[in-house]
Structure 1
Amino acid sequence: MTARVDRGAAARRSGRRAEALAVIWLMAKGYRILGFRLRTPQAEIDILALRGPVLAVVEVKQRGTLEAALEAVTPDQRDRLRRAGLALAAGRRGLKDCTVRLDLIALAPRHPPRHVPNAWPDH
């Protein structure tokens, strides 16, 4: 294997571990996990979680700092994630009345996960 292929495989493994840790973190906070790595026509959603009337579309980013994690999600990606969450909510009877929110779980070395609810408020 080439070094590039090895780096890509390592990044995918690291991303899956980060997402699994984020799921555990959200469950401990009382969220019900509805989906994990969901592919939709609009975007791939890392985690779809429900708590009360809030449907959280959760993006998981592993970076050196919270700021770097927030900046890693582009405005275009945020728009696609928001559209994906709204489409999923509209298509499921039990979710139609939910508020769709974009959350971030930021993971950094030697720090606990950081959950940022409503990380990118809708304008």
Structure 2
Amino acid sequence: MSATRPDQAVRRRAAYRRGHRAEWLALAALMLKGYWPIGRRISLAGGEIDLVVQRWTTIAFVEVKARPRRDDAREAIDAVKRRRFSRAVRSWIGRNSWSAGMTFRADAVFVGARGWPAHVADAFPIEGL
């Protein structure tokens, strides 16, 4: 057994906890803006949607990114992440026929070590919609 494995496990657990904390902060911020939760940590079609929230006739699929500096989080959504996210969104829409006729949007919430989470509506296009 190598000496780095326990360190990796500790880092992985810490990152997991930070991710959960960031998602709860993001959800709280969105609920204060009038969104209500539909789903959380949804894995479909090889991708993951952190939060699914609704406000009136709009369903927002939310990618939450946490970094020590909020501006660094903004750079963390790359093309590969957007493709996987979009694939999961398309799968979610296909499985939830009740959402037909709604407006769909890909939002992002950026969480830093300090300050309130930053919500960006329509942060990137949902590919294939």
Same fold (TM over 0.5): yes
Q: How far apart are 1:14 and its partner, in Å? A: 0.9
Residue 2 of structure 1 is matched in structure 2 by 6
Which residue is equivalent to 2:106?
A: 102
Alignment partner of 2:25: what SS?
helix
**CA, structure 1 residues 80+100, in 2 after alignment: closer, same or farther (shift >3 Å)?**
farther
| Counterpart contact for 2:43–2:88, Cα < 8 Å | no
Match of 1:44 in 2: 48
**Partner of residue 57, structure 1:** 61
In the alignment, structure 1 residue 115 sits paired with structure 2 residue 119: yes
Instruction: Kindly tell me the number of residue pairs found equivalent between the two proteins.
Output: 123
The higher relative CO (CA closer than 8 Å, separation ≥ 6) is in 2
1:23 to 24, 27, 33: 27
CA shift for structure 1 position 96: 1.4
Deviations 1:50-80 (A, max 9, x none): 1122211101111244442222111121122
* 2: CA distance, partners of 1:97 / 1:83: 19
- The TM-score with structure 2 as length reference comes to 0.84
> Mind listing any 5+ residue stretches in structure 1 that lack a counterpart?
none
1:33 equivalenced with 2:51 (yes/no):
no
Tell me which amino acid in the other structure corresponds to 1:95. S
Partner Cα distance (1:87, 1:120) in 2: 18
Give me the identity figure in percent: 35
Secondary structure at 2:61's aligned position in 1? strand
RMSD: 1.8
